[in-house]
Structures are given as structure tokens and as C-alpha cells.
């Protein structure tokens, strides 16, 4: 399988498919023994071009790393406790949440954030952009199991373009005769210096559902800084956001289209301890999720025969 993939979609000196690859840009001493290097049978696309590197697991179309050459540490965070395992989501990176975000509206037995992040995807295209960035498109594989949870005719494609910037395009095509409604998110974990010192701007004045201690509708005033568990779904906003990180001397710019929700999440100590896979004891301090989404008030109706695309683009500015 690997050699066939490399023959059809590999790009010499730029894109290679490997089994259970350790993530480039992650120092060897932070990799768990028996973790990413253990044999799970999963395949990872390793991108390494003149502008930077990225890794994408074919299961879940799960981006695990992105690090432009300008940066000494990755921009996308992957937990030290991340494991590659068939049917399990990887902690960190950029999970694809689809076709619903959070809990399913009516079926408590269906997986949180949908099934797209835990099922196989297949490669359908690869190439080099005019500026030298590497492009890779994956398509979700449907199965009897996915059809039980989502009985609609559709294609879900993720295109990743990795270079100095990272662009991800999540396209839902309704190939059937009836309309359907989706929720979705590119649930990106960003690597930060320390959660206590970063600030997020871009959401001033936005309404948000505050999921900590119930579900209350509030309004953001000014920038966001963090001193406890934060789990918010900002609604009706297509605005770009910036993560200001003085410790890592950088600003991460997050621009998007086709997305009207932005989720900001940090678990803080108690929830992180309960989750247990965030890199004990304090890996959670080095990550922050700013997720481009369509959730709650912003679910998307995909009319029969049409396509809806959510696009995010990340750029890093050194300061
Ligand atoms: C966030 C949610 O998007 O994802 C949080 O807002 C949730 O409530 C978090 O805890 C992680 O979810 P999971 O399913 O990957 O553990």
C-alpha cells in the first residue's frame, strides 16, 4: 500500500507516505516510548519542502504537525501522549469534526465531534503550488458504520496546502437528491509558550455560548486572556483571530471563510488531569485551541447538488 501510494501521489523531496512516522519537528526526547513510533498500521503523509514541514495521518485526515522554516518550534501542537491507533482520535494537531460538532443532537451513542476524525480517508490528489508549497487532498471513506450515523450521499474532502503558511479546505459536497445539515470544525491545537501569558484578539463584541458551568449566552469584551477552564463557541463571526504569544515571540494569524463560529478552548488543570492524554503534568499549558467552525446557531444546510467549503489559513508573524 505504501509503495503504491508513493508511486501515485509521492513527490520526490517533498511528500512521502510512511507507516507510523514520528512527527518531524518534534524533538526525539519528547516522543513517548511506544507512542507515535509503535506499529498501528496507520499511514502518515510527511511533507517536507523548502518552506517547512507538516504531517497528516490518513486516518481522520488528521494534521499532526506544521512548522514553517521561520519557526524554531512547531505551530501546531501535538500532545506528548498522542497515540496512533486505529479508530481512535489523536490528541492534538487538527482533528476534523464532522458532520456534527460536540455531542450529537439526538443520539447519545454517536461519537462526540462526529466520526470523520476516526475513520480512514484516501488520497485523491497531490501536487506542488506555484510558490513551492505542497498540496494534498484526502477524501473520507464511507462504510456501513458511517452510513448508519450519516445516511446521506456526499463527498467530504480535505485539501491541505503546507508551506510558509498552512491552508486547509474542508469541502462537503451533497451528491444526493435531498438537502442535509452539518456542523463542523477544524479543531486546531496551537503550540504556545504558556496559556497564562497568551491573548486572543479578533472576537471583541461577539456573542458566545459559554460552555463552562452550564451553557450561557454572553458577549465578548476586548481580547481574551486565560486564567481558568475556557470553552466558548463564538457565533455569527467570520472574523480573523490572532494569538499573541510574547514567550515564543510570535503572533499566529487565523483567517477563515465559510465559517461563522469560532471555538476557543483550554481545559485547565482539573479537566486536563481527567482527560489524561494532554502530556502530564502540564502539557495543557502549552496548547490553545482556536477552532474555525460552524456550530450551534451556525449549522450549514447543504442543498442537494451543491458544495459547501470551509477554508482556514494560518500564518505566523515573528515579533
Ligand atoms: C472542544 C470542545 O472543541 O473540544 C470541548 O468545545 C471539548 O468541550 C474539546 O472538551 C475536546 O474534545 P475531545 O472530544 O477531542 O476530547
Return the pLDDT at 36: 52
Burial of 106 by CB count in 10 Å (0-12 exposed, 13-18 middle, 19+ buried)?
A: exposed
> Which residues of the chain are modeled with pLDDT < 70?
21-38
Distance from residue 117's CA to the centre of ligand 1 (Å): 13
- What residues does ligand 1 touch, defined as CB less than 6 Å away? 89, 112-113, 187, 211, 231, 263, 265, 291
| Residue 157 CB coordination number (10 Å) | 19
Residue whose C-alpha is closest to residue 279's, from 72, 94, 83, 34 = 83
**Domain range annotation of the chain:** 2-318
Question: Parallel, antiparallel, or unpaired for β 184-186 and 287-294?
Answer: antiparallel
Which atom of ligand 1 approaches the CA of 275 most closely? 16
Return the pLDDT at 201: 98
CA distances from 27 to 31, 145, 161 (A): 7, 37, 24
Question: Considering 104, 113, 187, 286, which one is annotated as catalytic?
Answer: 187
Which atom of ligand 1 approaches the CA of 291 most closely? 3
Contact (CB, 8 A) for 47 and 53: yes
Please compute, for residue 104, the number of CA atoms within 13 A of its CA located in the half-sphere on the CB side: 11
The pLDDT tens digits of the residues spanning 171-198 come to 999 999 999 999 999 999 999 999 999 9
Does residue 291 have an active-site annotation?
A: yes
Distance from residue 123's CA to the centre of ligand 1 (Å): 27
Return the pLDDT at 34: 42
Does residue 62 have an active-site annotation?
A: no
Return the pLDDT at 1: 85
Question: Considering 16, 169, 286, 291, which one is annotated as catalytic?
Answer: 291
Which atom of ligand 1 approaches the CA of 233 most closely? 6
Element (H, E) at 49: strand 43-49
CATH code, 2-318 = 2.70.98.10
Return the pLDDT at 40: 83
Amino acid at each position: 500500500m505504501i509503495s503504491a501510494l508513493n508511486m501515485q501521489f509521492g513527490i520526490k523531496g517533498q511528500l512521502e507516505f510512511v507507516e507510523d512516522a514520528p512527527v518531524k519537528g518534534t524533538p526525539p526526547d519528547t516522543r513517548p516510548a511506544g507512542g507515535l513510533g509503535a506499529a498501528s498500521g496507520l499511514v502518515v503523509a510527511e511533507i517536507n519542502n523548502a518552506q517547512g514541514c507538516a504531517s497528516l495521518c490518513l486516518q481522520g485526515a488528521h494534521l499532526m504537525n506544521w512548522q514553517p522554516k521561520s519557526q524554531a518550534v512547531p505551530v501546531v501542537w501535538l500532545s506528548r501522549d498522542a497515540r496512533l491507533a486505529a479508530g481512535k482520535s489523536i490528541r492534538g494537531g487538527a482533528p476534523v469534526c464532522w458532520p456534527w460538532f460536540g455531542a450529537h443532537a439526538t443520539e447519545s451513542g454517536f461519537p462526540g465531534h462526529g466520526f470523520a476524525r476516526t475513520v480512514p480517508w484516501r488520497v485523491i490528489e497531490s501536487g506542488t503550488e506555484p510558490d513551492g508549497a505542497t498540496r494534498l487532498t484526502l477524501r473520507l471513506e464511507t462504510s456501513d458504520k458511517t452510513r448508519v450515523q450519516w445516511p446521506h450521499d456526499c463527498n467530504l474532502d480535505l485539501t491541505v496546502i503546507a508551506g510558509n503558511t498552512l491552508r486547509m479546505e474542508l469541502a462537503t459536497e451533497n451528491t444526493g437528491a435531498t438537502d442535509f445539515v452539518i456542523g463542523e470544525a477544524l479543531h486546531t491545537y496551537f503550540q504556545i509558550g504558556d496559556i497564562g501569558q497568551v491573548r486572543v484578539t479578533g472576537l471583541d463584541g461577539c456573542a458566545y455560548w459559554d460552555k463552562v458551568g452550564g451553557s450561557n449566552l454572553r458577549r465578548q469584551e476586548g481580547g481574551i486572556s486565560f486564567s481558568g477552564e475556557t470553552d466558548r463557541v463564538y457565533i455569527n463571526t467570520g472574523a480573523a483571530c490572532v494569538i499573541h504569544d510574547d514567550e515564543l515571540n510570535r503572533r499566529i494569524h487565523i483567517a477563515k471563510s465559510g465559517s461563522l463560529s469560532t471555538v476557543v478552548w483550554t481545559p485547565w488543570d482539573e479537566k486536563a488531569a481527567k482527560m489524561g492524554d494532554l502530556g502530564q503534568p502540564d502539557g495543557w499549558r502549552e496548547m490553545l485551541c482556536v477552532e474555525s467552525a460552524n456550530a450551534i446557531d451556525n449549522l450549514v444546510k447543504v442543498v442537494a447538488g451543491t458544495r459547501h467549503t470551509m477554508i482556514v489559513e494560518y500564518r505566523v508573524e515573528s515579533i
